[in-house]
């Protein structure tokens, strides 16, 4: 499907994340993991290739959103949202079919940032993993300072990110997320679905 | 620009319109079939859950598109908002050749005899428009049979004591139960219920030149890659086109039924695939655009004798919008019951469709189609965490351990649940869009609670350890099961068409889709829509005088 939504045109000019910045981001994430702060921001599974730049999100927005998504589906003994490339799913889709959500991401991420700075005196990405979880619960419950959220409710923003993170994690890799069918591996589902390979007759494998 | 006149112009190539096109073309009428969408193409539809008609996160693969279509939804407290076709509240079915039948789950239920006479069986319900159909199960029985044989249904009603009488068995043997279905059928049998295989518009054996089902997990919401799922696009439409009498025009959006000052339909004004204004004159006009879009088209067709829209002088067009009040229960079971064998729904019961003490109507219960992983994120007991490690643990632990029974409680129709046209919002062609307002009848809460309690008892009997119910809501119902907006009836004051789908006072304008349903059965409605399309076609053919009706 081609990106068709007319709202795409009215959105703010995309701020590209440079290759150099993303390498720095990756380094920060690795450091975080090394000192036991948490692996949430670690974009570490790109091998020797630099991660691709974002189309819509600024580097600061991408860093924050990556950390939020990692809270929604964290890495444990199987890959999490960062490993699966969820940020690239969201970035690509809101530059296309989901362009109607651009404004909400701009507003929501700014309010989210302000909320953390006011409540925790620290940027979300720099909080310990458990503190990040607490911050997200606060926003999910709509209990962050109301005055920091105008034009979009905190619960609505949370639900938006929750839904898009799930889409990016469980959807087809062709949309930018679910890298290497990470979620299908996790669930033990055959992938990809091959016509004629994983076929059955009368409900029984043949 | 206008074309030369044909005998019949049909709006919509879905379950209803596809059948009418074939019937009339075979009878020798010249037919133009207008369809806003296009042929579904397999190269556009793989196993992508985010681009499926069931979970259209990134748009509706089988239409309509988010760019050109809009609707207005009136919230229960009175505010309005504009919704896109891929959003749930749009109440979308589909917009492509075959309509919903190209991507449906393909359950092939006949309504039961009592479903056609709810009012006389149960009596009045306060604040409802409950009514008997003007036709009976017996009237429709031969047409159900025709749909089962021409489109193709696999089933076996040996163990279903509740169905209406049938003259012939199903043309194809039933599908076997899957693992989940076996657990549920065993539980139901222990409870004294009567499980049987769900009848399906899907080939269990090669039929009509198309192969047997290969059990893709991505079935419902997708097109079948081997054409084993039967819709109008791969059965009756090819026959209609082969007659040479039927011209199919795709990408054509109907704007108005032209009704002259004498109250006769003269044809259809529409926009073609290049958005050019066109007119197709015809002796007959048949509208099969689904309950929401058929009502919209009639309401947008104003004329001297029908200033409020075709057939709408008594304000019944668009009223009584109904779908189904889906309820059920889920359970988590120790045994791995997931099978890599789509579509997943295999076993049903009709024990609770009628005769429930103190209750009007009821619904069938069946196990459910496979939920792909994104959709499964919402299958949760109340209070379960939505994110974090707990979310992941639940997905990993239970994806293959779910037993579930759900069913469509038959809604009690009400006058305020309606489709009207919005006074301000228009689509890309400048045509006023659907405005959806009202709620379900409060009675559906009572009925839905009852049915979900029955589902819960079955799930508990399977041995599931953790069981929860999915209860009813009042939220306006439409979607794939949308029906009721142009009901048939004997009295022109309280219906839109007569018992043959012929619009009161416009004798050459017909409707052939779910709009005609007076009530919507406690079943998926598609086979009834198909049977009605054959019924309406038969009436047209019988009365056809060579140039007029």
Task: Give the model's pLDDT for residue A197.
Answer: 52
Task: Give the model's pLDDT for residue B548.
Answer: 66
Cis-peptide, bond into residue B343, ω within 30° of zero: yes
pLDDT > 90: percent of chain B:
95
Give the CA distances from residue B547 to residues A201, B155, B309, in Å, rounded to whole numbers and listed in that order.
51, 41, 26
CA angle A185, B56, A149 (to 5 degrees): 95
Mean local confidence (pLDDT), A84-105: 97
What's the pTM?
0.92
CA angle A175, A180, A184 (to 5 degrees): 90
pLDDT in tens, B122-131: 999 999 999 9
- Residue B195's pLDDT band, with cuts at 50, 70 and 90, is very high
- Residue A194's pLDDT band, with cuts at 50, 70 and 90, is low
CA of B59: which chain A residue's CA is closest?
A: A97
Task: Give the model's pLDDT for residue B43.
Answer: 66
CB contact under 8 A, B340 and A78: no
- On average, the pLDDT of chain B sits at 96
Task: Give the model's pLDDT for residue B318.
Answer: 98
- Residue A53's pLDDT band, with cuts at 50, 70 and 90, is confident
Residues 164-223, chain B, touching A (beta carbon < 8 A): 175-178, 204, 212, 214-218
Q: Say whether pLDDT at A195 is over 70.
A: no
Task: Give the model's pLDDT for residue A121.
Answer: 97
DSSP state letters, B143-169: HHHHHIIIII-B---TT-TTSPP-SS-
pLDDT in tens, A9-24: 333 344 444 444 444 4
pLDDT > 70: percent of chain B:
99
Task: Give the model's pLDDT for residue B547.
Answer: 73
Mean local confidence (pLDDT), A98-123: 97
Beta partners for residue B281, in sequence order: B267
Cα–Cα distance, B465 to B452 (Å, whole number): 18
3 state DSSP class of A153: coil
Cβ pairs A/B, distance under 8 A: 117
Mean local confidence (pLDDT), A128-152: 96
Chain A touched by B385 (CB under 8 Å): no
CA angle B165, B169, B171 (to 5 degrees): 140
3 state DSSP class of B327: strand
Which comes out higher in pLDDT, residue A6 or B5? B5
Predicted-assembly ipTM surpassing the 0.90 threshold? yes
Which chain A residues are Cβ-neighbours of B46 within 8 angstroms?
172, 193
| CB distance B326 to B512 below 8 Å | no
CB contact under 8 A, B389 and A98: no
Give the CA distances from residue B302 to residues B145, B178, B258, B289, B442, in Å, rounded to whole numbers and listed in that order.
38, 52, 8, 18, 34
pLDDT in tens, B469-521: 999 999 998 999 999 999 999 999 999 999 999 999 999 999 999 999 999 99
CB contact under 8 A, A167 and B67: no
Q: Of the candidates A5, A73, A198, which has its C-beta nearest B67's C-beta?
A: A5
Q: Which of B307, B343, B66 is nearest to B204 (CA)?
A: B343
pLDDT in tens, B59-105: 999 999 999 999 999 998 899 999 999 999 999 999 999 999 999 99
Locate A26 and state its tokens: 């990756």
Cα–Cα distance, B351 to B192 (Å, whole number): 10
Task: Give the model's pLDDT for residue A196.
Answer: 56
Q: Say whether pLDDT at B531 is over 80.
A: yes
Please tell me the class of the B177-214+325-409+441-474 domain. alpha beta
Give the CA distances from residue A165 to residues A73, A75, A155, A168, B57, in Å, rounded to whole numbers and listed in that order.
8, 13, 15, 5, 12
Residue B99 φ/ψ, nearest 5 degrees = 55, -135
CA of B87: which chain A residue's CA is closest?
A: A98
The answer to whether the Cα torsion of B39, B44, B48, B51 is positive or negative is negative
Q: Say whether pLDDT at B236 is over 80.
A: yes
Chain A touched by B380 (CB under 8 Å): no
For chain B, give the number of residues. 549
- Considering all CA atoms of chain B, what is the largest pairwise distance in Å, rounded to the nearest integer? 70
Give the CA distances from residue B442 to residues A70, B78, B318, B449, in Å, rounded to whole numbers and listed in that order.
42, 18, 20, 12
Q: Of the candidates A76, A183, A189, which has its C-beta nearest B389's C-beta?
A: A76
Strand order in the sheet with B347-349: B196-197, B347-349, B365-367, B402-409, B325-332, B466-470
3 state DSSP class of A31: helix
The domain spans of chain B are 1-41+88-153+230-324+413-440+485-549, 177-214+325-409+441-474
Task: Give the model's pLDDT for residue B341.
Answer: 84
Chain B touched by A203 (CB under 8 Å): yes
pLDDT in tens, B412-468: 999 999 999 999 999 999 999 999 999 999 999 999 999 999 999 999 999 999 999
Task: For domain B1-41+88-153+230-324+413-440+485-549, give its CATH number from 2.40.50.180, 2.40.37.10, 3.50.50.60, 3.40.50.300.
Answer: 3.50.50.60
Residues 128-167, chain A, touching B (beta carbon < 8 A): 133, 136, 162-163, 165-167
Mean local confidence (pLDDT), B339-358: 94
Which chain B residues are Cβ-neighbours of A133 within 8 angstroms?
388
Task: Give the model's pLDDT for residue A204.
Answer: 44
- Residue B40's pLDDT band, with cuts at 50, 70 and 90, is confident
Q: Say whether pLDDT at A32 is over 90.
A: no
Cα–Cα distance, A78 to B515 (Å, whole number): 49
């Amino acid at each position: 499907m081609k990106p068709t939504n007319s709202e795409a045109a009215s959105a703010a000019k995309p701020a590209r994340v440079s290759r150099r910045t993303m390498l720095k981001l990756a380094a920060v994430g690795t450091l975080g993991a090394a000192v036991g702060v948490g692996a949430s921001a670690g974009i570490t599974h790109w091998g020797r290739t630099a991660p691709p730049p974002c189309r819509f999100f600024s580097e600061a927005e991408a860093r924050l959103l990556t950390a939020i998504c990692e809270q929604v589906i964290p890495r444990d003994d199987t890959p999490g949202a960062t490993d699966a490339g969820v940020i690239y799913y969201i970035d690509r889709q809101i530059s296309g079919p989901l362009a109607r959500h651009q404004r909400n991401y701009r507003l929501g991420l700014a309010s989210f940032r302000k909320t953390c700075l006011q409540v925790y005196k620290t940027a979300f990405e720099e909080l310990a993993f458990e503190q990040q979880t607490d911050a997200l619960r606060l926003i999910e419950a709509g209990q962050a300072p109301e005055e920091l959220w105008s034009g979009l409710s905190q619960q609505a923003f949370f639900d938006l990110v929750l839904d898009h993170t799930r889409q990016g994690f469980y959807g087809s890799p062709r949309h930018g997320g679910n890298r290497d069918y990470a979620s299908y591996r996790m669930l033990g589902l055959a992938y990809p679905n091959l016509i004629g390979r994983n076929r059955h007759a009368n409900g029984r494998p043949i | 620009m206008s074309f030369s006149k044909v005998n019949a112009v049909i709006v919509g190539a879905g379950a209803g319109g596809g059948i009418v096109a074939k019937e009339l073309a075979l009878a020798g009428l010249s037919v133009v079939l207008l369809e806003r969408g296009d042929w579904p193409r397999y190269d556009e539809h793989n196993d992508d859950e985010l681009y499926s008609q069931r979970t259209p996160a990134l748009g509706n693969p089988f239409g309509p598109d988010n760019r050109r279509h809009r609707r207005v939804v009136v919230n229960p407290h009175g505010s309005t908002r504009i919704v896109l076709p891929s959003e749930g509240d749009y109440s979308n079915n589909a917009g492509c050749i075959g309509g919903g039948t190209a991507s449906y789950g393909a359950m092939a239920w006949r309504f039961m005899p009592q479903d056609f006479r709810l009012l006389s069986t149960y009596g009045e319900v306060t604040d409802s428009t409950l009514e008997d159909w003007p036709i009976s199960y017996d009237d429709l029985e031969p047409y159900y049979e025709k749909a089962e044989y021409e489109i193709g249904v696999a089933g076996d009603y040996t163990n279903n004591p509740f169905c209406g009488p049938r003259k012939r068995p199903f043309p194809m043997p039933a599908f076997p139960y899957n693992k989940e279905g076996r657990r549920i059928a065993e539980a139901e049998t222990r409870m004294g219920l009567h499980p049987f295989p769900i009848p399906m518009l899907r080939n269990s054996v090669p039929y009509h030149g198309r192969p047997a089902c290969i059990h893709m997990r991505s079935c419902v919401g997708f097109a079948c890659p081997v054409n084993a799922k039967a819709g109008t696009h791969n059965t009756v439409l090819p026959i209609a086109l082969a007659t040479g009498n039927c011209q199919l025009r795709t990408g054509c959006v109907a704007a108005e039924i032209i009704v002259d000052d004498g109250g006769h339909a003269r044809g259809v004004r529409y926009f073609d695939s290049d958005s050019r204004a066109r007119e197709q004159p015809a002796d007959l006009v048949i509208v099969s655009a689904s309950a929401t879009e058929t009502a919209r088209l009639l309401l947008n067709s104003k004329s001297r004798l029908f200033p409020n829209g075709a057939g709408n002088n008594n304000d019944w067009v668009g009223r009584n919008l109904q779908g189904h009040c889906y309820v059920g229960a889920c359970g988590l079971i120790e045994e791995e019951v997931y099978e890599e064998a789509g579509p997943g729904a295999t076993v049903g019961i009709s024990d609770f469709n009628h005769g429930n003490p103190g209750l009007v109507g009821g619904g069938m219960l069946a196990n459910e189609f496979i939920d792909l992983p994104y959709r499964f994120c919402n299958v949760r007991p109340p209070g379960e965490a939505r994110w974090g490690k707990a979310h992941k643990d639940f997905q990993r632990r239970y994806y293959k351990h779910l037993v579930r029974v759900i069913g469509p409680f038959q809604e009690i129709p009400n006058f305020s649940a309606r489709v009207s046209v919005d006074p301000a919002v228009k689509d890309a062609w400048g045509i006023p869009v659907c405005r959806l307002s009202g709620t379900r009848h409060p009675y559906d809460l009572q009925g839905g609670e009852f049915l979900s309690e029955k589902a819960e008892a079955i799930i508990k009997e399977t041995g599931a350890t953790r069981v929860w119910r999915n209860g009813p809501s009042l939220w306006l119902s439409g979607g794939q099961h949308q029906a009721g907006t142009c009901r048939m009836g004997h009295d022109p004051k309280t219906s839109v068409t007569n018992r043959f789908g012929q619009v009161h006072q416009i004798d050459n304008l017909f409707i052939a889709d779910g709009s005609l349903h007076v009530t919507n059965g406690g079943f998926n409605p598609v086979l009834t829509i198909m049977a009605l399309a054959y019924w309406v076609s038969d009436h047209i053919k019988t009365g056809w005088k060579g140039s007029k009706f």
